[in-house]
């Protein structure tokens, strides 16, 4: 039987005489056979390509799925080991936002004193995820396992509470940032409201119910002009969507306390700063831009008044968080049913010593040994407030909270960490 090549290109064409009709019919069949063969080859190649692309898509999708998946015997073992309590009277704590700024420091402090800790974080890209992954590596080196997952994943939360009878939940997961809410408002509703409800649903259904301590914000004071801010002040005038979601969180947590007997403590943080901080915070971005020789924006309020913040060092915030966990009291519900009243508390955690933003920049200049290129601009209507100032008398009396780190000392520690983490030597990045 002649090959396809021989059919298309005869090697020894000779002189031969055939009937015209027979010749035309033969040529038709030969052409049809050749076309059919090419068509079949084309179909085969298309099918092969489609199969490859389909398989590649499956592999890519599968890789993403399994990379972010949870479950399995090894995974459960890691959760159990990380949650083990190693001190008398200790607690087992689920820390949401575990690879975040505050979450990392709280988790380390709990682990160091012998408590069981399991972190939960979705490692989103609001800021460079590599920083969160570096925090996770730090936590893992101290025996803290961080589960990669979302607080809106009810199946994941149910599984975690099924594996571990957490005594406490430290809820720090949230979409942070005041200005970013104007770009991506849905992320705030997803994390700060829907995520909070998902977590509270898991907590109220757990048996036993854990006590819940969670991060509200000083932003809830909004347009309040009475200073210093006290927990009893009005908080019904939020200046940003972020603040509104945190205020909504306070109302939602009160509802779950009232209906289901969950012990709940809300903490209104005042401008937390320090090592391993968030790159979107002013002190962090100022440091980066000063070292890179880039200008920094310094906002001013009405009548060119300098903005002021009650900057609170991370170690002081951690003390307040641990004090809140230690004094939280017990939830009184079981299986979603309330058995009696449970504690509901709100505390300010601040430093009580507001400092203007230009003063903060001057301190950074001194430690970085570099002058900042200052660009003074009027504060836009993007949700920021002109000042914050915490009254911490309630936290002092109820939690024994007493901040001890002033801004100069705290920024010195931050700059030392920043230069080390980002590889700077004498003000220049190390290659």
pLDDT at residue 312, as a whole number: 98
pLDDT at residue 429, as a whole number: 59
Tell me the average pLDDT across 243-253: 97
Rounded to the nearest 5°, which phi and psi values hold at 207? Answer: -140, 105
- Residues forming a β-bridge with 262: none
Of 427 and 235, the structure prediction assigns the larger pLDDT to 235
pLDDT at residue 348, as a whole number: 98
Which pLDDT band holds residue 282 (cuts at 50, 70, 90)?
very high
pLDDT at residue 425, as a whole number: 62
HEC letters along the chain = CCCHHHHHCCCCCCCCCCCHHHHHHHHHHHHHHHHHHHHHHHHHHHHHHHHHHHHHHHHHHHHHHHHCCCCCHHHHHHHHHHHCCCCCCCCEEEEECCCCHHHHHHHHHHHHCCCEEEEEECCCCCCCHHHHHHHHHHHHHCCCEEEECCCCCHHHHHHHHHHCCCCEEEECCCCCCCHHHHCCHHHHHHHHHHHHHHHHHHHHHCCCCCEEEEECCHHHHCCCCCCCECCCCCCCCCCCHHHHHHHHHHHHHHHHHHHHCCCEEEEEECCEECCCCCCCCHHHHHHHHHHCCCEEEEEECHHHCECEECCEEHHHHHHHHHHHHHCCCCCCEECCEECCCCCEEEEEECCCCCEEHHHHHHHHHHHHCCCCEEEEEECCCCCCCCECCECCHHHHHHHCCCCCCCHHHHHHHHHHHHHHHCCEECCEECC
Average pLDDT, the chain: 86
Distance CA 199, CA 158 (A): 10
Distance CA 414, CA 356 (A): 18
Burial category of 350 from C-beta neighbours within 10 Å (exposed 0-12, middle 13-18, buried 19 and up): buried
Q: pLDDT, tens digit, for every residue of 132-188?
A: 999 999 999 999 999 999 999 999 999 999 999 999 999 999 999 888 988 999 999
Tell me the average pLDDT across 285-291: 98
Task: Give me the half-sphere count of Cα atoms (radius 13 Å) on the Cβ side of residue 169.
Answer: 32
Centre a 10 Å sphere on the Cβ of residue 133 and count the other Cβ atoms it contains.
Answer: 14
Q: pLDDT, tens digit, for every residue of 366-404?
A: 999 999 999 999 887 656 788 899 999 999 999 999 999
Global pTM value: 0.83
pLDDT at residue 302, as a whole number: 80
Which pLDDT band holds residue 52 (cuts at 50, 70, 90)?
very low
Quick one: residue 378, left, alpha or beta (phi over 0 = left, psi -120 to 50 = alpha)? beta
Distance CA 317, CA 102 (A): 8
Q: What angle do CA 396, 340, 246 make, to 5 degrees?
A: 50
pLDDT at 57 over 50: no
Residues taking part in catalysis: 242
Rounded to the nearest 5°, which phi and psi values hold at 123? Answer: 50, 45
Rg, C-alpha atoms of the chain: 31
Which pLDDT band holds residue 106 (cuts at 50, 70, 90)?
very high
Q: pLDDT, tens digit, for every residue of 323-371?
A: 999 999 999 998 788 999 999 999 999 999 999 999 999 999 999 999 9
């Amino acid at each position: 039987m002649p090959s396809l090549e021989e059919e298309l290109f005869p090697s020894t064409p000779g002189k031969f005489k055939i009937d015209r009709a027979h010749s035309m019919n033969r040529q038709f069949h030969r052409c049809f056979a050749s076309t059919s063969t090419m068509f079949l080859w084309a179909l085969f190649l298309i099918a092969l390509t489609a199969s490859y692309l389909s398989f590649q898509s499956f592999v890519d999708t599968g890789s993403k799925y399994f990379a972010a998946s949870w479950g399995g015997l090894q995974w459960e073992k890691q959760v159990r080991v990380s949650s083990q309590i190693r001190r008398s009277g200790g607690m087992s704590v689920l820390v949401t936002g575990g690879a975040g700024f505050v979450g990392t420091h709280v988790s380390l402090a709990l682990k160091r004193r012998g408590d069981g800790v399991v972190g939960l974080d979705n490692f989103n890209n609001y800021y460079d995820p590599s920083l969160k992954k570096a925090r996770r590596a730090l936590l893992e080196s101290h025996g803290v396992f961080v589960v990669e997952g979302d607080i809106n994943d009810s199946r994941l939360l149910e599984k975690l509470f099924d594996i571990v009878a957490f005594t406490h939940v430290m809820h720090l997961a949230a979409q942070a940032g005041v200005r970013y809410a104007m770009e991506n408002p849905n992320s705030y509703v997803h994390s700060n409201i829907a995520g909070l409800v998902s977590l509270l649903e898991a907590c109220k259904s757990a048996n036993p119910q854990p006590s819940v301590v969670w991060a509200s914000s000083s932003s809830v004071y909004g347009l309040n002009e009475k200073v210093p801010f006290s927990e009893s002040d009005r908080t019904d005038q939020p200046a940003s969507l972020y603040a509104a979601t945190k205020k909504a969180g306070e109302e939602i947590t009160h509802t779950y306390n009232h209906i289901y007997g969950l012990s709940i403590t809300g903490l209104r943080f005042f401008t937390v700063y320090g090592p391993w901080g968030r790159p979107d915070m002013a002190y962090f971005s100022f440091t980066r831009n000063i070292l890179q020789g880039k200008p920094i924006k310094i906002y001013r309020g009405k009548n060119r008044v300098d903005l002021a913040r009650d900057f609170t060092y991370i170690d002081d915030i951690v003390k307040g968080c641990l004090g809140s966990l230690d004094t939280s009291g017990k939830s009184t519900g079981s299986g979603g049913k309330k058995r009696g009243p449970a504690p509901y508390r709100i505390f300010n955690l601040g430093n009580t010593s507001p400092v203007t933003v230009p003063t903060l920049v001057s301190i950074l200049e001194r430690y970085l040994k570099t002058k900042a290129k200052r660009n003074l601009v009027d504060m836009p209507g993007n949700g920021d407030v002109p000042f914050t100032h915490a009254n911490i008398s309630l936290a002092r009396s109820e939690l024994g909270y007493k901040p001890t780190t002033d801004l100069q000392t705290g920024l010195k520690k931050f700059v030392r960490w920043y230069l080390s983490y980002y590889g700077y030597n004498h003000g220049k990045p190390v290659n």
